[in-house]
Amino acid sequence: MNRKARVIRCYTGQSLNPASELELDKRSSHHLSTVLRARSGTVVELFNGDGHNYASEVLAPGKKTRVAVHSVSACHTESTLRITLVQAIARGDKMDGIIQKATELGVSTIQPIYTKQSIARLDNKREEKKVAHWQAISISACEQCGRCLLPIVENPQSLNDYLTTLDTSDTQRFILSPTAQASNLSAMQLSDIALLVGPESGFDEDELAASKTAGFTELQLGPRVLRTETAGPAAIAIMQARFGDIVI
């Protein structure tokens, strides 16, 4: 049986229009020509976050890769379920994996937060670099999984600041807790969800209380205590299977 070739996908922040040619930016040129080793005539699928795919062809690879954009088509990989992952910033490279998996699983927004047990607050310069790094990881994940809309990676803020700025929307809010009572999601019909995930050492009692006051319902995923880098993706997958577009 012949194996279907994987479509080469590449993100660019540039405007894309059918029946046109353009010179790609530095990041996209490097990704196509150096990482993916595209050559003249290679068929690629470009996207820029506007919700469409652009069937294209490499005309001249290199540091300033030139492509021809042939046609545009609608993208059908976005879930109707809107999920915001509110994630306590994990130590080391764990946050990178969380961002990657959350993007692949279809989240709309990722809100990193500082908690009492998470990493110490970064200065503005380091914080900006972290956000740019996380956004780059999200872009790569979109290239791999077929998404055409980029999740929003918000600037980090403290849990308290996040809770005090919440509006009165119809978003159903859950805070993951291994000690919560088992939740009956089967009785719910949800379209907009916020998932609050704590750090490696968990939330302090006052943080848990403040979250519940702000409208978060405790949610237990099962009898085992999951690591912070496991809990978020696991909860997202469950929500997508129950209310979104993951079919099992």
pLDDT at residue 68 greater than cutoff 50: yes
Q: How confident is the model at residue 120 (pLDDT cuts 50, 70, 90)?
A: confident
Which tens digit of pLDDT belongs to each residue from 135-165? Answer: 999 999 999 999 999 999 999 999 999 999 8
The answer for residues whose C-beta is within 8 angstroms of residue 69's C-beta and 6 or more apart is: 16, 17, 18, 19, 20, 21, 22, 46, 54, 55, 56
DSSP state letters, 128-191: HHHHHHHHHHHHHHHHHHT--SPPEEPPPEEHHHHHHT----S-EEEEE-TTSPPP-GGG---S
- For the chain, what is the mean pLDDT? 92
The answer for residues whose C-beta is within 8 angstroms of residue 70's C-beta and 6 or more apart is: 18, 19, 54, 55, 56, 57
- The alpha carbon dihedral of 216, 221, 224, 226 has a sign of negative
Which tens digit of pLDDT belongs to each residue from 184-236? Answer: 676 678 899 999 999 988 899 999 999 999 999 999 988 899 999 999 999 99
Which tens digit of pLDDT belongs to each residue from 127-136? Answer: 999 999 999 9
Classified as helix, coil or strand, 123 is coil
Q: How confident is the model at residue 183 (pLDDT cuts 50, 70, 90)?
A: low
Q: What percent of the chain has pLDDT over 90?
A: 78
pLDDT at residue 2 greater than cutoff 60: no
Minimal CA–CA distance to 193: which of 164, 165, 161, 215?
215
Q: Are 176 and 195 in contact (CB under 8 A)?
A: yes
Q: Which residues pair with 93 in a beta bridge?
A: none
Report the pLDDT averaged over residues 45-62.
Answer: 95
Q: What pLDDT does 184 receive?
A: 66
Q: What's the CA gap between 157 and 142, in Å, rounded?
A: 25
The answer for residues whose C-beta is within 8 angstroms of residue 229's C-beta and 6 or more apart is: 90, 94, 97, 98
The answer for residues whose C-beta is within 8 angstroms of residue 189's C-beta and 6 or more apart is: 243
Q: What percent of the chain has pLDDT over 70?
A: 96
Parts of the chain belonging to CATH 2.40.240.20: 9-74
Per CATH, the architecture of 9-74 is what? Beta Barrel (2.40)
End-to-end CA distance of the chain: 25
pLDDT at residue 4 greater than cutoff 70: no
Q: What pLDDT does 145 receive?
A: 95
Parts of the chain belonging to CATH 3.40.1280.10: 82-243
Q: What's the CA gap between 239 and 81, in Å, rounded?
A: 8
pLDDT at residue 1 greater than cutoff 50: no
Q: Are 140 and 183 in contact (CB under 8 A)?
A: no
Q: What pLDDT does 178 receive?
A: 84
Residue identified by tokens 């490499």 is 58
Per CATH, the architecture of 82-243 is what? 3-Layer(aba) Sandwich (3.40)
pLDDT at residue 3 greater than cutoff 60: no
